[in-house]
């Protein structure tokens, strides 16, 4: 069958692929579809899973495995792919990867008929689409972060989906700007969205990979406090989700204000422990942390409070109530760009505390600070980029 179109719909090929991966029953298929965000790119409703299984079975592509009803529930029949099904799946997948297929998004139909829509109503419709798009991006990113460990191809699917959504988001921003004349009320030209990585490039995109002292200006952040291993503590995952929920709510609440839009900054963290050597030894369960997202200087406490209430009402995520504003002025700080796994930072930290600071008559003045420029979900560990910073002060004269 290789080289011949197996005649499978996208939903059928998706379900068949999951059974080629391993035998599963219907409820397992539903769980995997949900965990992997598969409904972002194919229509497989829960009610249609058994209908699709029946069609695949009638074609001889899958079979019920003998004695395979799930324990304690004879209704949960386990299915696996047949040899013919594996071949059909491989052929269909190869063609789906290689061939371009036309898309028929309804937004294009709407754009083709926009002369029939009042200009202000069109702008309002595009604004609603922008909000829905931002929510979808947040949902997909959260689904990837919250899902169980998955193979690399699953992360590639999430990455593709997010890339498509973000590409549309960028297009939508440009198109809306063109319709509005790219001008604010009153006739002043709009400015590009505030981006902390560009506004404070020296502190968010440094080039030095060995320690150097910089003077960090005052900043304000959204912050959530916690303790424990960031890789395993549920509180850490909840803190990150809450921060991004409030940050994006703020972004869209302020997008059309006088000060304008801003790009949500990268995740950051302040870290400390009762035993400073806990970081060199990577004793992560003893770590304390405050996770952060930077804010433009014009964001007020009142705006943060309103965004927090809005996000909490919408998401029902209890950690959102813990999000607070934090002002920092770290001033003189030893800083470097670390390239590689987070666990490989230990030698640089040991060198900082045992060589660089003593040699320069300095000592730590505040909490260890990290900025996660690279996304660990889509970046190989050896390519991760992290700004590592330690506020410092002169050692007192003896």
Tell me the three state secondary structure of residue 226.
Answer: strand
Distance CA 122, CA 111 (A): 9
pLDDT for 186 equals: 46
For residues 352-363, give the mean pLDDT.
94
Residue 2: what pLDDT? 46
Mean pLDDT in residue range 116-125? 84
What would the mean pLDDT of 122-141 be, rounded to a whole number?
85
The predicted structure's pLDDT at residue 278: 64
* Weakest-pLDDT range from 73-77, 120-124, 293-297: 73-77
Q: Examine the pLDDT at 195 and tell me if it is beyond 70.
A: yes
* Residue 8: pLDDT over 70: yes
User: How much is the pLDDT for 319?
Assistant: 95
Q: Which residues fall within 8 angstroms of residue 188, CB to CB, at 6 or more apart? A: none
**How many residues does this entry show for the chain?**
398
Between 111 and 288, whose confidence is greater?
Answer: 288
The CATH architecture that domain 10-98 belongs to is Orthogonal Bundle (1.10)
Judged by average pLDDT, the poorest of 5-9, 49-53, 65-69, 208-212 is 65-69
Six token digits for residue 254: 């302020």
Rounded Cα distance between 85 and 60, Å, is 7
**In this model, does residue 185 exceed pLDDT 60?**
no
Please, which residues have CB within 8 angstroms of residue 183's CB and are 6 or more apart in sequence? 189, 190
CATH number of 196-394: 3.20.80.10
Number of CB atoms found within 10 A of residue 114's CB = 14
Over residues 192-199, mean pLDDT: 86
Average pLDDT value for residue range 117-134: 86
Domain range annotation of the chain: 10-98, 106-179, 196-394
pLDDT tens digits, residue range 244-284? 999 999 998 887 776 678 999 999 999 998 876 666 666 78
Question: How many Å apart are CA 195 and CA 298, to the nearest integer?
Answer: 13
- DSSP letters, 243-300, are HHHHHHHHHHHHTTSTT--BPPPPEEEEEE-SSTHHHHTT-GGG-EEEEEEEE-TT--
Q: Which residues contact 286 (CB under 8 A, 6 or more apart)?
A: 273, 274, 275, 278
d(CA 135, CA 145): 15
pLDDT at 142: 75
Greater confidence, 190 or 245? 245
The SS3 call for residue 180 is coil
Mean pLDDT of 10-23: 92
Judged against a pLDDT cut of 90, whether residue 104 lies above it is answered with: no
Return the structure tokens found at 109.
Answer: 């139909």
CA angle 156/160/162 to nearest 5° reads 115
Residue 188 has pLDDT above 50, yes or no: no
Higher-confidence residue of 158 and 377: namely 158
Give per-residue burial for 188-221: e unless 16+ CB within 10 Å, then b. Answer: eeeeeebbbeebeeebbebeeeebeebebeebbb
Out of 1.10.510, 2.30.230, 1.20.1280, 3.40.50, which CATH number does the structure's domain 106-179 have? 1.20.1280
Please report the pLDDT score of residue 184 as a whole number: 43
Average pLDDT on 97-111 reads 82
Q: Taking 80 as the threshold, does the pLDDT of residue 58 lie above it?
A: yes
Burial 317-331 (b: 16+ CB within 10 A, else e): bebbebbbbbebebe
């Amino acid at each position: 069958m290789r080289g011949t179109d197996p005649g499978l719909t996208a939903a059928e090929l998706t379900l068949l692929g999951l059974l080629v991966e391993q035998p599963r029953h219907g409820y397992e298929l539903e769980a995997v579809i949900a965990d992997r965000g598969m409904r972002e790119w194919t229509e497989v409703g829960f009610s249609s899973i058994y209908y699709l299984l029946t069609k695949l079975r009638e074609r001889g592509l899958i079979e019920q495995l003998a004695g395979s009803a799930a324990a304690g529930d004879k209704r949960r029949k386990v299915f696996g792919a047949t040899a013919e099904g594996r071949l059909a799946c491989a052929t269909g997948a190869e063609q789906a990867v290689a061939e371009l297929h036309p898309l028929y998004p309804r937004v294009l139909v709407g754009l083709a008929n926009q002369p029939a829509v009042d200009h202000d109503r069109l702008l309002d419709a595009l604004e609603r689409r922008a909000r829905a798009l931002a929510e979808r991006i947040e949902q997909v990113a959260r689904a990837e972060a919250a899902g169980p460990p998955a193979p690399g191809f699953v992360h590639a699917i999430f990455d593709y989906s997010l890339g498509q959504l973000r590409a549309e988001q960028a297009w939508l921003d440009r198109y809306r700007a063109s319709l509005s004349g790219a001008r604010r009320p009153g006739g002043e030209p709009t400015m590009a969205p505030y981006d902390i990585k560009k506004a404070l490039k020296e502190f968010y995109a440094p080039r030095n990979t060995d320690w150097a002292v910089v003077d960090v200006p005052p900043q304000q952040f959204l912050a959530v406090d916690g303790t424990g291993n960031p890789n395993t503590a549920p509180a850490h995952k909840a803190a990150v989700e809450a921060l991004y929920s409030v940050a994006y709510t703020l972004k869209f609440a302020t997008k059309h204000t006088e000060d304008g839009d801003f790009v949500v900054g990268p995740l950051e963290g302040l870290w400390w422990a009762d035993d400073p050597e806990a970081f060199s030894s990577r004793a992560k369960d003893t770590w304390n942390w405050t996770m952060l997202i930077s804010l433009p200087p014009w964001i007020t406490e009142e705006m943060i409070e309103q965004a927090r209430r809005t996000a909490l009402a919408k998401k029902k995520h209890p950690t959102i109530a813990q999000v607070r504003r934090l002002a920092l002025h770290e001033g003189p700080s030893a800083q470097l760009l670390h390239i590689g796994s987070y666990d490989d930072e230990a030698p640089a930290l040991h060198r900082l505390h045992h060589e660089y600071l003593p040699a320069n008559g300095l000592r730590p003045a505040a909490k260890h600070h990290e900025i996660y420029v690279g996304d660990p979900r889509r970046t190989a560990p050896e390519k991760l980029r992290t700004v590592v910073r330690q506020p410092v002060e002169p050692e007192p004269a003896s």
